[in-house]
Structure 1
């Protein structure tokens, strides 16, 4: 900025100067103020010069005051800028430190993310295997034809197979309800008691039950054990045994028929297994030995009636029948019969084969020939031939 032709009163004379204000280069804002005097200038009239001088003095004073205010403001601004610069440097250092921390955290997060991806893949594999195992178990239970219901420790229904509806009237909406609230299609009143008993003593219980429709089931109540051996309820399984019950009835009928046939025979008769143990015997044998059926059935032949059949030759002959499957006939043995004394008995043994052609049982029959042999001896007859 340049203000030319300014009058300055210096005492005895008035000087003419040019006021020049220039900014100085540098980091901080400074101004250079120059006063350049004119040489040999003409002076105007005194009055005019005086007015001009006063005007210039006032302007100069204002400029000085403005310059002083600007200088002070500039000093304050410089101080504020210096303080701000220091704060910015501190903030920059903090930002650099934060950036380093963020970089470290980013690396840790990347490492953690990789671990999470690995763990997630393992979890996905485990979930797939569990789903596959669940599907396998469901198909196994459904294909096995076993009606099963899973109960919690509080007897609430957790899960069941579709076939259970033939035994217990269950629907999907019954999940979570106590089994005691459900209608049971069984002629059996102790289901809840049996379940509570299994939960109490942790021992499996089996029994045969019948539905109101007449079907027979084998009911098995077992504790539900988790992988860490924790009891988390019970498993109630119903296996249809109608076919087995039918075969059992047929077998019982066949046994009753066979026993009837055996009992109709007057001669003592036993049915032996491969170990020479009594499977069955008729009433004539019971009467001969004065023993009941419970004492005879299942007993060792050679231990009956204090070893009445425990004879070396008889053992050898019956052993041949059992091992070779050849019949034994016209073999006379001496028996010490209770209340009758010594008796002559003609023994016969015939193997009984099963449907597969394998040896199964031996039919051992005896006939009392004591009187026949006595009469033959009296008449001099020989019946051994």
Structure 2
């Protein structure tokens, strides 16, 4: 409805933002605007004279926030000469909203100019003012460009500094990788040595286990707290032992021998570092030579428990008894 009314009255009303771009139009645009595409900038859509006038009036409205107009602008449009009146008015919706202009174009068909609001078009004066406006806009553009260039320079310096830091970080990472590679090589060497040592320990452990299995004499390994740490298979003939007894106090384990001083002997060996040898008899009539000696630690030659060895001397003991009887008879 507004568009039809504007066309009937011969008006063209444009709503233009502060960037001089057309937001809305009412009326016949072909009468005053050039048939250009891909642009909404009003200065580019207007003939040269109208563009010059609009530039001047819009700058005035921006500065004063008051409407400005100019009459009888002579232009040639579609091979026809006509006089155009232009009025630019500020449109303020609220303080937070962007600024808009209302630009009104009307054809001046009246010869007398006194009836029209505003001044008549003086091409020479407007060209000078238009030139000044263009120079001012050019100056502002240059200042903005200089500011942009300064920001770009600062950004380039920051990027250069960042690149240097990245290069330094990469060098540090490369150095760290080399160190890690060296550490990995050392770890491989240590791991190889550890595997070799582990193999040797397994072989030693196999030797000890085979020694224990082949040793008919019994052996007990006791730590400083009088706890059973290990025993040979031959020991079960004298002491009732199970694998579950490892870690238990020796005083809690029942024996088949008449050896009441075994705990006291172990304590004395641990305290004095001496070797105690005794001959004892079992409940089934067998005799054993019991040797209690300190368990020496190779690293510092310190006592780390005791070893109790049971040697079967039954046959020797019986021979001695028979000799004693023969001697008495003689």
The TM-score bracket by the shorter chain reads 0.5 to 0.7
Answering whether residue 325 of structure 2 is matched by residue 246 of structure 1, we say no
Counterpart residue number, 1:92: 163
Answering whether residue 264 of structure 2 is matched by residue 193 of structure 1, we say yes
Distance of aligned partners of 1:4 and 1:203 in 2 relative to their CA distance in 1, 3 Å threshold: same
Q: Tell me which of 234, 239, 264 is aligned to 1:163.
A: 234
**Higher relative contact order by CA 8 Å / sep ≥ 6: 1 or 2?**
2
> 1: CA distance between counterparts of 2:271 and 2:303?
11
- Tell me, which stretches of 5 or more residues in structure 2 are unaligned? 1-38, 55-74, 89-102, 106-125
TM-score normalised per structure 2: 0.59
**Per-residue displacement from partner, 1:193-238 (whole Å, max 9, x unpaired)?**
1111111111101111112122211101000001120110101111
Q: Tell me which of 55, 68, 81 is aligned to 1:44.
A: 81
Paired residues, number: 227
Counterpart residue number, 2:307: 235
> 1: CA distance between counterparts of 2:205 and 2:51?
112
TM-score normalised per structure 1: 0.51
Distance of aligned partners of 1:77 and 1:210 in 2 relative to their CA distance in 1, 3 Å threshold: farther
**Per-residue displacement from partner, 1:321-360 (whole Å, max 9, x unpaired)?**
xxxxxxxxxxxxxxxxxxxxxxxxxxxxxxxxxxxxxxxx
Q: CA deviation at 1:68?
A: 9.2
Counterpart residue number, 2:47: 5
Does the 8 A contact of 2:215 with 2:232 survive in 1? no
Q: Tell me which of 198, 202, 221 is aligned to 2:292.
A: 221
Q: CA deviation at 1:168?
A: 1.9
Does the 8 A contact of 1:149 with 1:236 survive in 2? yes
What secondary structure does 1:44 align onto?
strand
What secondary structure does 1:227 align onto?
coil
Does the 8 A contact of 2:270 with 2:305 survive in 1? yes
> 1: CA distance between counterparts of 2:51 and 2:324?
154
What secondary structure does 1:159 align onto?
strand
What secondary structure does 1:221 align onto?
strand
**Per-residue displacement from partner, 1:135-181 (whole Å, max 9, x unpaired)?**
11221122121211111111111111122222222222222221112
Moved more, 156-165 or 215-224: 156-165
Distance of aligned partners of 1:139 and 1:66 in 2 relative to their CA distance in 1, 3 Å threshold: farther
> 2: CA distance between counterparts of 1:209 and 1:45?
145
* Structure having the higher Rg: 1
